[in-house]
Chain A
Amino acid sequence: MDLTFQIQGGDFTSAGAASSQVRRTLKELGVDASVIKRVVVALYEAEVNIVAHAYKGEIMAQISPERVFLKLTDEGPGIPDIEKAMTPGYSTASQEVREMGFGAGMGLPNISRNADVFNIHSVPDRGTTVEITIQIS
């Protein structure tokens, strides 16, 4: 099953809507709760990253009996130094975003911890692509 979502940069009122829909779908499919928990954490963080940093983006969720594959593509400033961005506590989020409790530099580490496979590719001034695989069986 394939699900696609369009994400608008800066739209914090809808942040998490895609994650919520994917969670509902996985529950309906009877996927193991521990798998759903990992998908939710990884996808929510990646979704919020688009909202907090990019102009717009797309989320594609591919669900098969063996795995959940998530691909998030955004148009945005990109990440010049991915290794640095992966460092727990490092963030480039604005002051406004930080005051909401986002931008603690825990997003990418949370994705990494919950994904079986995590790929991130970025072109500065163009955008970022994140691929997350979580095995079901």
Chain B
Amino acid sequence: MTVKEMAQTLELKIFAGEEGLEKEIDGGYTSDLLSDVMGYADAGYVWVTLQTHKNVMAIASLKELAAVVLVKGFEPDEDTMELARQEQIPILGTTEQAFEISGRLYQLLHP
């Protein structure tokens, strides 16, 4: 499944990084601790978090993540979106909580 298909199915808002919407998704990781994601997420994963600052995109780039999904209606900082565009990694958003969106994403990836 591509990031674009996920965004459509889960009705996610696209903040920036549209250039990367065709990326394939290999899994997901939900955490607000950056070292947790750094240590345990893998390439092609979608990262579900409430962190909105620029370091999120730095990690997404270093780990070659497929996309970042912000929960609870949080919006990315301006420099976060700038980095998302630069790195061509989509940063998306939902009004749902991490538990709910992660559950729906899991179902989508493991039908």
Contact = CB atoms under 8 A, between A and B. Distances in A.
Contacts of B59: 16, 44
A107 B53 CA distance: 19
A60 interface: no
A110 B63 CA distance: 14
Contacts of A104: 33-36
Interface residues of A, number: 23
Contacts of B58: 15-17, 20
Contact of B39 (A12, A13, A41, A48): A41
A1 interface: no
Interface size class of B (residues with CB under 8 A): 10 to 19
B3 to A, nearest CB: 21
Q: Is the interface of A mostly helix, strand, loop or mixed?
A: helix
Interface in B53-103: 53-55, 58-59, 61-63, 79
A121 to B, nearest CB: 22
Contact of A40 (B34, B49, B62, B79): B62
Contact of B32 (A20, A23, A41, A101): A101
Interface string A8-33: 00001101110110010000000000
* Residue from A12, A17, A40, A44 whose CB has the most chain B CB atoms within 10 Å: A44
A110 B62 contact: no
B38 interface: yes
The list of the 4 closest CB pairs from A to B, nearest first, reads: A106-B35, A16-B58, A104-B33, A110-B39
Given A15-B58, A104-B33, 20 more contacts: A13-B54, A13-B79, A15-B55, A16-B59, A19-B62, A20-B61, A23-B62, A40-B63, A41-B39, A44-B59, A45-B38, A100-B53, A101-B33, A101-B51, A101-B55, A102-B35, A104-B34, A106-B39, A107-B35, A110-B39
Interface of B: 32-36, 38-39, 43, 49, 51, 53-55, 58-59, 61-63, 79
26 contacts: A12-B53, A12-B54, A13-B54, A13-B79, A15-B55, A16-B55, A17-B58, A20-B61, A23-B62, A37-B43, A40-B62, A40-B63, A44-B59, A44-B62, A48-B34, A100-B51, A100-B55, A101-B32, A101-B49, A102-B34, A102-B55, A104-B34, A104-B35, A109-B39, A110-B35, A110-B39
